[in-house]
A and B are shown apart, each in its own frame.
Chain A
Amino acid sequence: MTHATLLAAAGEITSTSTGEAAVFWILAPIAVLAAVGMVLVRSAVHCALLLVANLFCVAVFYMVQQAPFLGFVQIIVYAGAIMVLFLFVLMLVGVDSSDSLVETIRGQRLGAAIFGLGFAGLLVFPIGSAIDGGSAKGLDKANEGGNVQAIGRLLFSNYVFVFEAISALLVVAAIGTMVLGHREREGGRVGQREWMRRRFTEPGRQVTPLPGPGVFARHDSADTLGLLPGGGRASGIGGIPGIPETAEEPGVTDLPGGRAASDTPDTPGAPGTPGVSDGPGSAGPGGPPGSRGPDRPDRPDRPGGTTPGAPVPPAPTDGAAADGGAGGAEPVDVNGSALAGAGKGDER
């Protein structure tokens, strides 16, 4: 090899090609902007996406710099596997768990920004001055039989012990993840029978299916009254058009409380009585059978059930709604439902 060809080869390698320069000057700002955005953006998912953009840019830099194997490993392992892992954990933890903007240490952000500027200056300026005009030897000779083959040869000759240690590290990491992710089961194994039993015995569980979306009702059964969005009743029992409302009127007016309330329709509590009648029903999700009973004004055994509520009628005459929430459970419920009937009668 003559001197001239050596010089030519050296010059060719030292100055990178224009294509590489174009790739660098296009992708380097993107990489830096993605990194800055990753630090600044609040949502963790956006952080992950910006990091993926940055990783792709760096992968292209690897490929341009005669390291195609590392470039593809970067895309497959980093941008593929690790970022999927990140997003998976992000979804497990909850996407809405974004950063709080409260500074626990005062002036931490400002300090971090100043530190970052100083650190960048400390790193960038010495590099710029020290390697300015430095010559790159290039990897053409080292990559002669192919980059992957060369890396493999090196990996299994000079670095074989490091390779073994790394494999041991990977095994330990896998075991450690299993240990950290494992949770001991508390109590015995829960079978189907036990689940069914819990469904009916545990308080607060809804046994029946929940009403469909858009249905303005707490229960799906026909004997509980569905309310219109304004709070009033739809025509018919429970909003069912076929059943006339008058069918339940005698049952309601038989109540002593209902009489008393309907005698005083101008009480201030009367317009709000649907709310009062809703109150015990909504306040009792802890006991479905107990709370669902008072919502049924048309039950045949209701007049019999009102006998403990007989002393109540003096109450609604002076502030029925105010008294409704503070009294005992059962008589007040009856009173509330009776008032609900009175309010309904006023609306018609």
Chain B
Amino acid sequence: MNPANYLILSALLFTIGTVGVLVRRNAIVVFMSIELMLNAVNLTLVTFSRINGTLDGQIMAFFVMVVAAAEVVIGLAIILSIFRTRRSASVDDVNLLKY
């Protein structure tokens, strides 16, 4: 088996995540799709790290994970504060930035 299969798999996962971001209305599910895309990119980085024989790709994937964790925490806090004022977690209802 060629290690490039991992790249193809991660390309598929990234595409599915993109379609999820485009299609879904629930903000939390949109966030999950973004997580899926980040994971696909991580898989690419790990695969390239293996192909190139250095650990830099893994370090990068690690950093991506940390940034994703921070992003999720902030994003979910924003979703919660929007939900408090709008009583909705749908991205369609958030068409004003204030109130």
Contact = CB atoms under 8 A, between A and B. Distances in A.
Interface of A: 15-16, 20-21, 24-25, 28, 31-32, 35-36, 38-39, 44, 47-48, 51, 54-55, 58, 61-62, 65-67, 69-70, 73-74, 77-78, 81-82, 85-86, 89-90, 92-94, 97-100, 104, 108-109, 111-113, 115-116, 119-120, 123-124, 127-128, 131-139, 141-143, 147, 150-151, 154-155, 158-159, 162, 166, 169-170, 172-174, 176-177, 180-181, 183
A89 to B, nearest CB: 5
B73 A38 contact: no
Given A78-B65, A137-B51, A173-B69, 8 more contacts: A32-B9, A39-B33, A70-B65, A86-B31, A86-B32, A123-B14, A166-B66, A181-B77
Contacts of B35: 51, 78, 82
B67 A169 contact: yes
Band of interface residues on B:
35 or more
Contact of B50 (A39, A54, A111, A139): A139
Given A44-B28, A54-B36, A137-B51, A174 B73 contact: yes
A128 B4 CA distance: 7
A127 B36 contact: no
A194 to B, nearest CB: 24
B58 A35 contact: no
B9 A31 contact: yes
The 5 closest A-B pairs by CB, nearest first: A137-B53, A173-B70, A123-B11, A180-B77, A116-B19
B3 A16 contact: yes
A245 B33 CA distance: 67
A136 B22 contact: no
Contacts, number: 242
Contacts of A32: 9, 12-13, 16
Interface in B36-83: 36, 39, 42-43, 46-47, 49-56, 58-59, 61-63, 65-74, 76-81, 83
B65 A74 contact: yes
A93 B65 contact: no
Nearest to A16: B1
Contacts of A73: 62, 65
25 contacts: A15-B1, A20-B1, A24-B9, A31-B9, A35-B12, A35-B20, A38-B32, A39-B33, A44-B28, A47-B29, A61-B6, A62-B43, A67-B50, A74-B65, A85-B73, A112-B22, A128-B8, A133-B2, A134-B4, A137-B53, A150-B55, A154-B59, A166-B63, A176-B77, A181-B77
Nearest to B36: A35
Nearest to B58: A67
Contact of A78 (B33, B39, B55): B39
Given A16-B1, A54-B36, A137-B53, A97 B88 contact: yes
Nearest to A39: B20
A113 B33 CA distance: 15
